[in-house]
Copies of this chain bind each other. A is one copy, B any other.
Amino acid sequence: MNLGHKKGTAMLDDKQCPDCKRINEVLSRVGDRWSVLVVISLAEYGTLRFNELKRNLGISQRMLSLTLKELERDGLVNRTYHPTIPPKVEYNLTNMGQSFREPISALGYWALENLATIDVARRAYDEKVTNQLTYTQSPRAPDF
């Protein structure tokens, strides 16, 4: 999630918003868009090769490489290297990786139920703003 932004966050004050500290930590780890999507994809297909993931997600080679390395480091993903020619590298979820799918599904359901509403709100807001701009920019009646 654009949850990107892995390092920059200042430490939160302990006394404030107790939940935020915890949430903030988890988001720092597995909260970016690509991590989430890789986990979903592996949860759905079991085992995938590097380029299969790349094609599935429309992610750049660079980010996929970085994301997988992070996920392996965090113990969410297993990496299996087959030293054949051409090489073959397979990825699948660890148990912890699998368990991560549950909270993500919750997010998915919420998404399904609310995306339409968000789009409506967004259009309404944009229209309102546009009208305000039009109004302040040409207070006088149009010249015709």
Cβ–Cβ < 8 Å partners of A44 in chain B: 17-20
Asked if B117 contacts A26 (CB within 8 A), the reply is no
Instruction: Describe A's contact surface by its main secondary structure.
Output: helix
Asked if B40 contacts A20 (CB within 8 A), the reply is yes
Q: Is A46 an interface residue (CB 8 A)?
A: no
Interface size class of A (residues with CB under 8 A): 35 or more
Sample (28) of A-B pairs whose CB atoms are under 8 Å apart: A2-B4, A2-B5, A2-B33, A4-B32, A4-B33, A9-B58, A17-B44, A20-B37, A20-B40, A22-B112, A22-B115, A23-B37, A23-B107, A24-B33, A26-B114, A26-B115, A28-B33, A29-B118, A72-B125, A73-B121, A73-B122, A73-B125, A75-B118, A75-B125, A96-B118, A102-B106, A103-B109, A106-B106
